[in-house]
Amino acid sequence: MNISRRQFLKIAGLALTSAATARVTFEYSSRIEATWPVVEQVQVPLKNLPSALEGYKIVHLSDIHLHPFTQIEFVQEIVMLVNDLKPNLVVLTGDYVLEQAEAIFELAPVLARLQTDAGVFASLGNHDFWTNVAVVKQGFKEAGLTVLQNKGVILGTGKARLYLAGLDV
Ligand SMILES: [Fe+2]
């Protein structure tokens, strides 16, 4: 089955470790309906990771493209799945909408239910700009979520710092 990239909702979880990083990916196609989360785990070693960040778990969600293919009920289901992973941090990397930027006002409050220690941080994607980036950013602001657009934050505790930066498109 040939399914284009935009027809997927991708979610990845990264567990930082000096030995390995794990990634979990769920993929969704509108052709198959919201019954096909695919979980993938990838182990990637990180050199010189501070011991305090050992096992630090990052969940990465991308390309949700709410409406018309991805429905909010599926996102709600994924948010519950992610919360069960008990991530330290969630990063969102763009393309929240597809045709209507106003969909962000339905999506962002659901994403705000993501439960983490360090927070939820978002960068923007090309479809967010192609629709109306000001509206998309306003949706995040109203939901209390931080957009990193050529900005960074320092996470972690003590000497164990994690630098997180979001770039522009
Ligand atoms: Fe996309």
CA of 163 relative to ligand 1 center, distance in Å: 25
In this predicted structure, the answer to whether residue 160 has a pLDDT above a threshold of 80 is yes
Q: What pLDDT does residue 119 have?
A: 95
Distance 87 CA to ligand 1 centre (A): 23
Distance in angstroms (rounded) separating the CA atoms of residues 88 and 144: 18
Residue 75, pLDDT score: 92
Grade residue 145 by pLDDT with cuts at 50, 70 and 90. very high
Half-sphere exposure of 66 (CA within 13 A, CB side): 24
Of 17, 37, 92, 33, the residue nearest 60 (C-alpha): 92
Q: Does domain 5-166 have CATH number 3.60.21?
A: yes
Place of tokens 């659901």: 110
Mind listing the pLDDT tens digit for each residue in 101-111?
999 999 999 99
Is residue 152 scored above 80 in pLDDT?
A: yes
Q: How far apart are CA 102 and CA 71, in angstroms?
A: 14
Q: What is the C-alpha separation between 31 and 9, in angstroms, rounded?
A: 12
Q: Say what the pTM is.
A: 0.81
List, for residues 57-101, the tens digit of each pLDDT value. 888 888 999 998 889 998 998 899 889 888 899 999 999 999 999
Distance 41 CA to ligand 1 centre (A): 21
- Which has the higher per-residue pLDDT, 24 or 157? 157
Distance 125 CA to ligand 1 centre (A): 7
Average pLDDT over residues 134-147: 98
pLDDT for 2: 39
Ligand 1 centroid–CA 49 distance in Å is 31
Give the burial class of 2: count Cβ atoms within 10 A of its Cβ; 0-12 exposed, 13-18 middle, 19 or more buried.
exposed
Question: Which residue would you say has higher pLDDT here, 29 or 155?
Answer: 155
| Residue 63 Cα to ligand 1 middle (Å) | 4
Condensed to tens digits (0 to 9), the pLDDT of residues 2-31 reads 334 333 444 555 666 554 343 444 444 444
Distance (angstroms) between ligand 1 centre and the Cα of 157 equals 33
- Between the CA of 106 and the centroid of ligand 1 the distance, in Å, is 18
Q: Is the model more confident about 158 or about 128?
A: 128
Ligand 1 centre and the CA of 43: distance in Å? 25
Name the pairing type of β-strands 89-93 and 56-62.
parallel
Q: Would the pLDDT of 113 be above 70?
A: yes
